[in-house]
Amino acid sequence: MDQIISPALDQDFIASENAALTAGVEEDYDALGRALDRRGIDIEAITRAVAAFAVAAPSWAVGSGGTRFARFPMGGEPRNIFDKLEDCAVVNRLAGATPTVSLHFPWDEVDDYKGLTEFAGALGLGFDVVNSNTFQDHPGNALHPLSYKYGSLSHTDPAVRAQAVAHNIHCAELAAKIGAPALTIWLGDGSNFPGQSNFTRAFERYIDSVTTVYAAVPGGFKLFLEHKMYEPAFYSTVIQDWGSSLLAAQAVGDNCLCLVDLGHHAPNVNIEMIVARLVHAGKLAGFHFNDSKYGDDDLDAGAIEPYRLFLVFNELVDAEYRKAPGFAPSYMLDQSHNVTDPIESLMTSAVEVQRAYAQALLVDRAALEGFQDANDPMMASQTLKRAFTTDVQPILAMARLRKDAAIDPVGAYRASGYRSAVTRIRPAKAGGSGGIV
Ligand SMILES: [Mn+2]
């Protein structure tokens, strides 16, 4: 497999793009450092933490997304997992925050996983949590002869459940081959009509199926359960909310945890409190970051409600600060890019997640605890706002500069001409999966 030689992956090109911007970043960084010093905050500690922070890029998000109505393809869309990895390498090279890729099976299946791992390694990429897929049929795939139209792990027919169980075990085996630490299970099982499904029996069948998967995977390998309120089922969903997810994870075992996709909740639900509850239970698997206005919109992280993203990270930093037992969440992006270049959206989103983390690190936790204990809501709220309204851009830019990434990722990407280069190399392909999960 030939790799694309692009300026976007070339260190000298990135350095030349950074040259004109470096003096300004250093000046802003020094000024912010002095301002934070007056607040008793060491800017270097924050910058180190930000530089070490990583979020996985999803393989399915480098192609154009779509809606239930249409998909508008763009030029140079990846044709296979190798193309997807090259696009992910550009995202990581320029934004410096996504060193791993989350694969989705069977979409990303190959014959040679050693070769795939070496290909990724040569691009500076590793693999993160993998994802199974029993929310659609896979015509022509000998491992999926039966239809998932009426469900998978909770299906009424034991033969369909067995097929879905086998697929998830297969995904865990593929994860082991590429060094991925966990498998995320999201399923579309549910119902569209009252009476269509027995809530209790469907939930019991689901737990039984996941328990069978769990018993078959190696010790230490983790299963992440992803809940979602609705869609594709529009009346009930088997793992509809964090409560169902937690009940199932507790029934399955210690290494079965609950994954929070920010878009998978009703509007206005207090997601940061769900995070706190899952941390308390020792069951927080991690996140699929995205943003939404109405439902599972899969918009770019931080695009709509940056304060909510900050409040989620405020809970995460609080757990880190308190050394909550077993706290080691996995961070992934899960977005659908319908109208933007996915590479630009992924870089921007990774930076927005880093921004929320940096802002949360600035919270004066001792002061906050004091205001909470003294029942001073105004000062407690202002303590969070003070951190949120601090412009941490110089910290993010400096972290990128020190990692030889681009100070201005989107600017450098556009200057590199990567999209037109891959448009010439990769012939247009009709169809393709939207990949909205
Ligand atoms: Mn998701």
What is the reported pLDDT for 182?
A: 98
Q: Classify residue 418 as exposed, middle or buried by CB count within 10 Å of its CB (0-12, 13-18, 19+).
A: buried
401 Cα to the center of ligand 1, angstroms: 31
Pairing of strands 236-237, 190-191: antiparallel
Task: State the pLDDT confidence band at 431, using cuts at 50, 70 and 90.
Answer: low
Report, as an integer, the average pLDDT of 25-36: 98
Q: Which domains does the chain have, with CATH numbers?
A: 54-361 (3.20.20.150)
Q: Which of 403, 321, 325, 399 is nearest to 366 (CA)?
A: 321
Q: Which of 319, 309, 252 is nearest to 284 (CA)?
A: 319
Percent of the chain with pLDDT over 70: 97
437 Cα to the center of ligand 1, angstroms: 5
89: pLDDT strictly greater than 50: yes
Task: State the pLDDT confidence band at 3, using cuts at 50, 70 and 90.
Answer: low
What is the reported pLDDT for 414?
A: 98
242 Cα to the center of ligand 1, angstroms: 13
415 Cα to the center of ligand 1, angstroms: 32
Round to whole Å and give the CA distance between 353 and 310.
Answer: 8
266 Cα to the center of ligand 1, angstroms: 15
423 Cα to the center of ligand 1, angstroms: 28
Q: What share of the chain is helix, strand, coil (3-state, %, to 5)?
A: 50, 10, 40
56 Cα to the center of ligand 1, angstroms: 12
CA angle (246 as vertex; 242, 247 as ends), nearest 5: 120
259 Cα to the center of ligand 1, angstroms: 8
364 Cα to the center of ligand 1, angstroms: 32
Exposure b/e, 103-118, CB count within 10 A at least 16 = b: bbbebbbeeebeebbe
Contacts of 382 (CB under 8 A, 6+ apart): none
437: pLDDT strictly greater than 90: no
Query: How does pLDDT run across 5-19, given as a tens digit for each residue?
Result: 688 889 999 999 999
377 Cα to the center of ligand 1, angstroms: 34
334 Cα to the center of ligand 1, angstroms: 5
The structure tokens listed for 391 are 């412009």
Report, as an integer, the average pLDDT of 182-204: 98
7 Cα to the center of ligand 1, angstroms: 32
Report, as an integer, the average pLDDT of 358-374: 98
251 Cα to the center of ligand 1, angstroms: 22
Query: How does pLDDT run across 282-323, given as a tens digit for each residue?
Result: 999 999 999 999 999 999 999 999 999 999 999 999 999 999
Query: How does pLDDT run across 119-152, given as a tens digit for each residue?
Result: 999 999 999 999 999 999 999 999 999 999 999 9
The string of DSSP letters for 336-354 reads --SSS-HHHHHHHHHHHHH
Report, as an integer, the average pLDDT of 328-340: 97
Task: State the pLDDT confidence band at 32, using cuts at 50, 70 and 90.
Answer: very high
288 Cα to the center of ligand 1, angstroms: 5
331 Cα to the center of ligand 1, angstroms: 11
* Its pTM surpasses 0.85: yes
226 Cα to the center of ligand 1, angstroms: 7
291 Cα to the center of ligand 1, angstroms: 11
Q: Which of 94, 161, 144 is nearest to 123 (CA)?
A: 94
Round to whole Å and give the CA distance between 119 and 135.
Answer: 29
What is the reported pLDDT for 68?
A: 86
The structure tokens listed for 185 are 């299970």
Round to whole Å and give the CA distance between 182 and 171.
Answer: 10
296 Cα to the center of ligand 1, angstroms: 9
260 Cα to the center of ligand 1, angstroms: 8
221: left (phi over 0), alpha (psi -120 to 50) or beta: beta
What is the reported pLDDT for 2?
A: 54
Contacts of 380 (CB under 8 A, 6+ apart): 368, 371, 372
186 Cα to the center of ligand 1, angstroms: 8
152 Cα to the center of ligand 1, angstroms: 18
278 Cα to the center of ligand 1, angstroms: 17
Percent of the chain with pLDDT over 90: 95
Dihedral sign of CA atoms 258, 262, 268, 270 in order: positive
Task: State the pLDDT confidence band at 274, using cuts at 50, 70 and 90.
Answer: very high
225 Cα to the center of ligand 1, angstroms: 10
Dihedral sign of CA atoms 71, 73, 78, 79 in order: positive
264 Cα to the center of ligand 1, angstroms: 8
Report, as an integer, the average pLDDT of 348-370: 98
Query: How does pLDDT run across 248-257, given as a tens digit for each residue?
Result: 999 999 999 9
